Amino acid sequence: MECIFCRIVAGELPSDTLYQDDEVMAFRDINPLAPTHVLIIPKRHIAFLSDLSDDEVSLIGRMVGVANKLARQEGVAEKGYRLVIGSGEDGGQVVPHLHMHLLGGRRLSDRLC
């Protein structure tokens, strides 16, 4: 298995896992850019956001639900946080397995990019 995140899902690579259910998993980013930096991923390998069919977009809703729950758990919900999904090279996506970043715990840049 080549995909790093699929290997994390399979338990072949360690991760600081905060949440998992049948479809979604969340773990701390190995290279945190903020005091709270969590990655929320589908367990199934989907490379890019742009690969999601119209029938599959509800998966993103599930990922947002997990992110909101973790933001409360991490104590960042009240002051605020940011959810980011990059898709593809120009979107800044390095790991080709769909993921959402949950960033919080400090004032993030006003600049979006």
Contact residues: ligand DGP, CB under 6 A:
4, 13, 15, 27-31, 39, 86, 92-95
Nearer to ligand DGP, 65 or 92 (CB): 92
Q: CB 112: neighbour CB atoms within 10 A?
A: 7
Q: Catalytic positions, please? A: 99
Short-list 112, 95, 83, CA closest to 31: 95
Q: How far is the CB of 109 from ligand DGP (least distance, A)?
A: 16
- Give bridge partners of residue 102 from the DSSP assignment: 38, 83
Q: How far is the CB of 13 from ligand DGP (least distance, A)?
A: 6
Using a 10 angstrom Cβ sphere, with 0-12 exposed, 13-18 middle and 19 or more buried, the burial of residue 103 is buried
Q: Which two tokens stand for residue 3?
A: 């995909």
Nearer to ligand DGP, 31 or 78 (CB): 31
Nearer to ligand DGP, 17 or 78 (CB): 17
